[in-house]
Each structure stands twice: as C-alpha cells, then as structure tokens.
Amino acid sequence: MSLIAQTFAELKAQNKTALITFITAGDPAPNLTVPLMHAMVAGGANILELGVPFSDPMAEGPVIQRACERALAQGVGIMDVFAMVAEFRKTNQHTPVVLMGYANPIERIGAARFIAESQQAGADGAIVVDYPPEECEEFSAAMRAAGLDLIFLLAPTSTEQRIAQVAQVGGGFSYYVSLKGVTGAGNIDTVEVAERLKAIRQHVALPIGVGFGIRDGATARAVAEVADAVVIGSRIIQEIENVGAEQAVAAVESFVAGISSALDA
C-alpha cells in the first residue's frame, strides 16, 4: 500500500476528510519551500502537493501563474524540487508528497529519470496535468513499480470513457476539478459536485479529492460532505502574496489550521 493510500485509509477509519494543500516550489523564495511544507503539516494538512514551476501552466489561473513566474525568476527547476522533497523527508517521513506539474520538465529529463529521482527524493506520486490517461499505461505501470502513484484529473466535462480510463491507470486518488476553468476562478457549486462524484464513483474506486474554487472553511466543509479530500492551492498562494515572504510561513500555517478546524468541526 502506498503512503497516499495508507493516509486515506487511516483518515477513513477516523471518519475524516483529507486536507490536501498546494504551493509552488520556490515561491516566494527557494529557501522557504521546505519551511512552508512543514507549516502546512503543522496546520493540519494530510497530503502536500508541490508544484513544479513551469513557464506555461495552462490549467492555472493568475495566482499560480505568478507563483511559477516568481520561482522561475529565481532559477528553480525540477531538480531543485527533488532536492526540496529530500530535505523535507529528513524530518517528515509520514506526510505524502505529490509533485504537480506538466509534461515538459519530465520529458526533458526523461520519464525513467523522473521516476528514479522522485523515488530517491521521497515523493509519493505525481499529477501531470497534460498527460492523458489513454497514453499513460506504460508510465503509470513504471510509477507503480517504483511505489509511486500517478494521479489524474477529472473535470465536469469528463466522459464516461475518460473516467473509466482514469480508473484503469490512476493511483492514489482521483482529482476532481470542480469548475470549468482555471485554478482560483469562480465559485464552487457543491450540489453539482455531489452529483458528479456520484457518477464518477460508479467507475472509480479510488478516493476522490475536489479542488479549484475552495477558498474558505465553509466551502471546504461543504465539499467534505461529499468528497474524500479537499484540495486548496490558489488561496494559500494568495495568503503568501498578501503577507510577503517574511510572514509567509506563519500566515500559511494559520490559514491551513483554519481550514483544518473547519473540516474537523
């Protein structure tokens, strides 16, 4: 059982919904990434998503686009991200870390090296936004052989065929994108989310996390009524932008703690 699967199993036994939090590696500064990861765990995050900076993050809204630009301006690349995960693992071996990004950085170093470096650093899985499941059977099998989960996105527009493909090759959990649009945009319709998750669960046995549009404790708790995990990213990066680098770690821990408390209430 992967660490991600183990985490979901433990939370299910406690009748709890997982809190998955996202930051972009290297933002607002490379030396703050690992402290921010620890801060999110201290605030109550159960799984961490660490964004690999990329120059054309097509699924991201302006907030995460800016985070990628700040990280890239400081020279942060995929090898630096592996080093950050390895540093985090020196003092935390129990919180799953998922690398989230795009195909280009992986293709540049090669899939085999990406898997080897991820495993060596201590990552537990990856979300590659522009890897379609129908073209990922070999990559997914190689990830699974290395003890890593390949996690896929599902959208309001996903067909039954696409959902079935994700069920076949995905691991860890499935990430349901609650909005037709980019990260950080719009308001989530929890009734519509509940209906879509019911349809998805007819095909997908994995836990389902819901992200895009979750901005506060009330929304998180509403989503937690129907999902196995709540995913928050843009709102955390906004918090970093609001307070600046010097206060970022404390502000992120406080914000995540507020969401965690809302989920546990």
Whole-number pLDDT of residue 86: 98
Cα three-residue angle 21-24-27, rounded to 5 degrees: 125
Whole-number pLDDT of residue 186: 54
Whole-number pLDDT of residue 180: 59
**Per-residue pLDDT tens for 214-252?**
889 999 999 999 999 999 999 999 999 999 999 999 999
Fill in the amino acid letter for 97: V
Whole-number pLDDT of residue 187: 64
Catalytic annotation on 192? no
Crossing angle for the helix pair 62-73 and 234-243, nearest 10 degrees?
A: 60
Whole-angstrom distance, CA of residue 160 vs CA of residue 148 = 26
Q: Are 18 and 207 in contact (CB under 8 A)?
A: yes
Whole-angstrom distance, CA of residue 253 vs CA of residue 44 = 8
Q: Are 227 and 8 in contact (CB under 8 A)?
A: no
Whole-angstrom distance, CA of residue 265 vs CA of residue 263 = 6
Given 10, 49, 117, 135, which residue is catalytic? 49
**Cα→Cα distances 93→97, 144, 148, 194, 209, Å:** 10, 19, 15, 33, 22
Whole-number pLDDT of residue 61: 81
Given 10, 60, 192, 225, which residue is catalytic? 60
Name the strand (E) or helix (H) holding 198: helix 190-200
Whole-number pLDDT of residue 184: 46
* Exposed/middle/buried for residue 9 (C-beta within 10 Å: 0-12, 13-18, 19+): exposed
Tell me what percent of the chain is helix, strand and coil, each rounded to the nearest 5: 50, 15, 35
Whole-angstrom distance, CA of residue 115 vs CA of residue 113 = 5
Which residues does 129 contact at the CB level (< 8 Å), separation at least 6? 57, 58, 59, 100, 101, 102, 153
Low-confidence ranges of the chain (pLDDT < 70): 59, 180-187
Catalytic annotation on 239? no
Whole-angstrom distance, CA of residue 251 vs CA of residue 244 = 9
Whole-number pLDDT of residue 191: 86
Whole-number pLDDT of residue 57: 79
